[in-house]
Homo-oligomer: A and B are copies of this chain.
């Protein structure tokens, strides 16, 4: 066996993730995916019985990796502005990388076509991000209420997702950069 089961699962997920970030969940095809990793579509079904299984695994992994990276940021610096810089950079790099989108952002747009198990993972991604942002904000604004903190965090998350969506739509990463700058200028982002 050239590759272990785990290797194959990883290869499939990596290819799938790229496809979803570029074309969405609906564009994800077992046949195309199989071709990319060099096996047949039936074999993909062996690793991920249904498309919903694959989508949910994808989103779960995406959230886990994101959470790990964000935790690292929090542990590295106490500076809220630095953390936010790094955060906006994550979404920027998706655009810079072949005009891709946040996996869960693009999935949110396809919400009604998603199997329930995928939806659940999309929800968790949003909650994870908002939770992290609230932690960062609490360092910069210690006096506000917990509710205001949550709302502000949600506003930042939404604004950044929107900046990515619109910039992607215009195929112009400069729009993302200028929009983030405007968010900073108003104080939405510390």
Question: Chain A: residues with CB nearer than 8 A to chain B?
Answer: 22-24, 26-27, 99, 101, 104-113, 122-123, 126, 151-152, 154-155, 157-171, 175, 178-179, 181-183, 185-188
Contact = CB atoms under 8 A, between A and B. Distances in A.
Given A108-B168, A160-B162, 14 more contacts: A22-B112, A23-B112, A122-B169, A151-B181, A152-B186, A155-B186, A158-B162, A159-B163, A159-B188, A162-B163, A182-B188, A183-B188, A186-B187, A187-B187
A179 B166 contact: no
A131 to B, nearest CB: 14
What is the copy number of this chain in the assembly? 2
Q: Is the interface of A mostly helix, strand, loop or mixed?
A: helix
Given A109-B24, A162-B163, A155 B126 contact: no
Contact of A111 (B112, B154, B168, B186): B168
A95 to B, nearest CB: 12
A158 B154 contact: no
A120 to B, nearest CB: 11
Contacts of A113: 23-24, 27
A109 B36 CA distance: 23
B165 A105 contact: yes
A170 B161 CA distance: 14
